[in-house]
Structure 1
């Protein structure tokens, strides 16, 4: 049994570089997509849920109220560009490119090269159904900010089966 199988904690990967969470508070590589939540530049009460799928680079962007992004006019909007940039800051350009199955043309990938390289393939618009799941996960992450600091077990995390008696 590996060490990770014996522990009830998840391995946390530190960001490749520090990020400013005010612009893109949530970004993840999950479910075959680079996906996350991007703050609106004009309305403090609005966020956009954006994603790009691996391999085909299908993209979506809509508000938290499920309204389509006005910047989607046949290509990536500024929210998707911000998502890619912050994804590269969080995970590193190599990891993002590998996850999305993007092959950079000239050497090492960068956020700019990934964004423009994927856009040049004229990707299709993706399925908006995933936006609700992404936004729900973002809200669940936010809820943990409300939990007061403690060394006691967190109720939501007590689903782990006990493996041995604590002494």
Structure 2
């Protein structure tokens, strides 16, 4: 487990991950407390998607990155560090182009300049499902009993 580069607030972007060749996560709606958006950006192509938890497309992501995707990039930089996000997404100027440490804004600007296309939100259901699974762990009572879904870990002290 990699420690966060800097602490971040979870209210706006409660879930962010670099997985499956994408920066992906869940972003809270600014206007409706009961709505969240599932947003993603593909590594290399910067193909993007943003839709509600009910699979309705984001109105701001029609011609480019919406504010939800921009917030996702910003929080990913806080969580993982700008260099790691740039390497993962394959943003050329983010890997030390002589202009100092990249920022979330510089990464977003470079990806936007590449004229990315929408990807149709193929991963939205998977991302949202993983987010819900993470939330389920928060509802567990504190304890030391093993969790059934974690039983694949070898027992402590086992000799191979």
* TM-score of the two chains, using structure 2 as the length reference: 0.91
**Displacement of 1:164 after TM fit?**
6.7
For the residue of structure 1 that corresponds to 2:39, the secondary structure is strand
CA distance in structure 1 between the aligned counterparts of 2:28 and 2:39, rounded to whole angstroms: 11
CA distance in structure 2 between the aligned counterparts of 1:87 and 1:165, rounded to whole angstroms: 36
Q: Which runs of 4+ in 1 moved over 2 A?
A: 105-108, 159-166
Matching residue of 2:140: 147
Two-structure CA RMSD over aligned residues (Å): 1.7
**Displacement of 1:160 after TM fit?**
3.3
**Displacement of 1:154 after TM fit?**
1.3
1:53 pairs with one of 15, 34, 42: 42
CA distance in structure 1 between the aligned counterparts of 2:25 and 2:89, rounded to whole angstroms: 14
CA distance in structure 2 between the aligned counterparts of 1:165 and 1:77, rounded to whole angstroms: 49
Say whether 1:63 aligns with 2:64: no
Which runs of no fewer than 5 residues in structure 2 stay unpaired? none
**Displacement of 1:22 after TM fit?**
0.3
CA distance in structure 2 between the aligned counterparts of 1:165 and 1:57, rounded to whole angstroms: 44
Matching residue of 1:122: 115
**Displacement of 1:109 after TM fit?**
1.2
CA distance in structure 1 between the aligned counterparts of 2:78 and 2:54, rounded to whole angstroms: 27
For the residue of structure 2 that corresponds to 1:70, the secondary structure is coil
* TM-score of the two chains, using structure 1 as the length reference: 0.88
Say whether 1:95 aligns with 2:88: no
**1:4-53 CA-partner distances (Å, limit 9, x unpaired):** xxxxxxxx211100010000000000000000000000000000000000
Which runs of no fewer than 5 residues in structure 1 stay unpaired? 1-11
2:26 pairs with one of 25, 29, 37: 37
